[in-house]
Amino acid sequence: MIDLSKYTKELSKLFSSSENILIICHINPDGDAVGAQLALYHYFKAKGKNVSLLAPNHLQEFLKWLDGADQINVFIKDRKKSRILIDKADLIVMLDFNHPGRLGEAEDSVTASKAKKVVIDHHLDPENFADLIISDPGKCSTSELVHELICEINGEEFMNRSYAEALYVGIITDTGNFEHGAYSSRTFRIVADLLDSGIVKEKIINLIYNNFSSDRIRLQGFALNQRMVVIPEFKTAYIYLSKDDMKAYNHVKGDTEGFVNMPLSIKGINFSALFIEKDNFIKLSFRSKGQFPSNEFASLYFSGGGHLNASGGEYTDTLDNTIAYFLQVLKENVWRFENQI
Ligand code: 5GP
Ligand code: MN
């Protein structure tokens, strides 16, 4: 964990000297990106700041109930308004990503903006693309990091219902409801305060996890039954889905979220991969247990990266060829699997 007090003086100065603050999450934002974004939004609102919100390309259905989500502008849906927001901002806060490519189509406008830029993130090895980069891979979520920074700047813990709901969503989605990731005893102390603020955790769990379409559940069944391959000698399992597979189940964006985690619940499986066929490439997601560096695997072979146990990448070839390549590099990495339990 990093010493946050090194950053809070400068961050506090940037916050107080800025009139128009724009908060941006990453492309295809997950619960943590949007949770951190809305928590910071509610903090600024309570402090009387002029604050706007931007997402590069999309907002997933299961996050739209969060208070303030309707205020998130989507760059590719209204480029003109989004560019105006970027241009008029004097401070841009970017959340939950470590390189500017994660801004999607908004990258050029954000890079060209004269605003001061801050990154708050918990991914490893951030690129240098802002005036202030606060990166702590020791935090389970960017939401937790945002909360810690706000506590320092505010002099005491900041809390209200909307803020607490956003933080709770960020923390549970990035830890798989406290199953994985860098959560700590401090995370639970924060969560205790969130619960004390009056949030209804059953309501949130239902809105986040028990909110699927029947098509999505059937696609999950199909993926596990027909498209999962288990390779015991590598302690590995993978799932692949073609465009046709997804069409057959009326796939909508976000439906395959979480699929990559499922093979890890098989006894003896420490590494899981998900292959999703896109228009011109294959998107890969990786998950691992223990010390298997899924991010190293993603960056060495699939132009990607991420966390030790959760990463992703892509490969520009057919689904069949990508799987063949994956199997080949697995063999080359056999030594990584030899000492695993
Ligand atoms: P997911 O499998 O949920 O899409 O992604 C898990 C993690 O992997 C994300 O938090 C992100 O950091 C990382 N990740 C996913 N795809 C990519 C990618 O294409 N490039 C990089 N650098 N990281 C990725
Ligand atoms: Mn995150």
Q: What is the pLDDT of residues 285-338, one digit of tens each?
A: 999 998 899 999 999 999 999 888 899 999 999 999 999 999 999 999 877 766
Q: Is the CB of 310 under 6 A from ligand 1?
A: yes
pLDDT tens digits, residue range 161-200?
A: 999 999 999 999 999 999 888 899 999 999 999 999 999 9
List the end-to-end C-alpha distance of the chain, in Å, as a whole number.
28
Residue nearest to atom 7 of ligand 1 (CA): 311
CATH code that applies to domain 5-208 = 3.90.1640.10
- For residue 309, the number of C-alpha atoms closer than 13 Å in the C-beta half-sphere is 16
Ligand with smallest separation from the Cα of 146: 2
CA–CA distance, 161 with 163 (Å, rounded to integer): 5
Distance, CA of 90 to CA of 247 (rounded, Å): 44
Taking the domain 214-337, which CATH number applies? 3.10.310.30
**CA angle at 259 for the pair 204 and 213, rounded to the nearest 5°:** 55
Beta bridge partners of 284: 275, 313
Domain ranges within the chain, ordered by starting residue? 5-208, 214-337
pLDDT at 340 > cutoff 80: no
Question: Measured in angstroms, how far is the CA atom of residue 313 from the centroid of ligand 1?
Answer: 6
* CA-304 nearest atom, ligand 1: 20
Strand order of the β-sheet with 72-74 is 72-74, 50-55, 20-24, 91-95, 116-121, 132-135
Nearest to 98 by CA among 295, 269, 239: 295
Instruction: For residue 237, give the 3-state DSSP assignment.
Output: strand
In terms of Cα–Cα distance, which of 163, 159, 181, 162 is closest to 172? 181
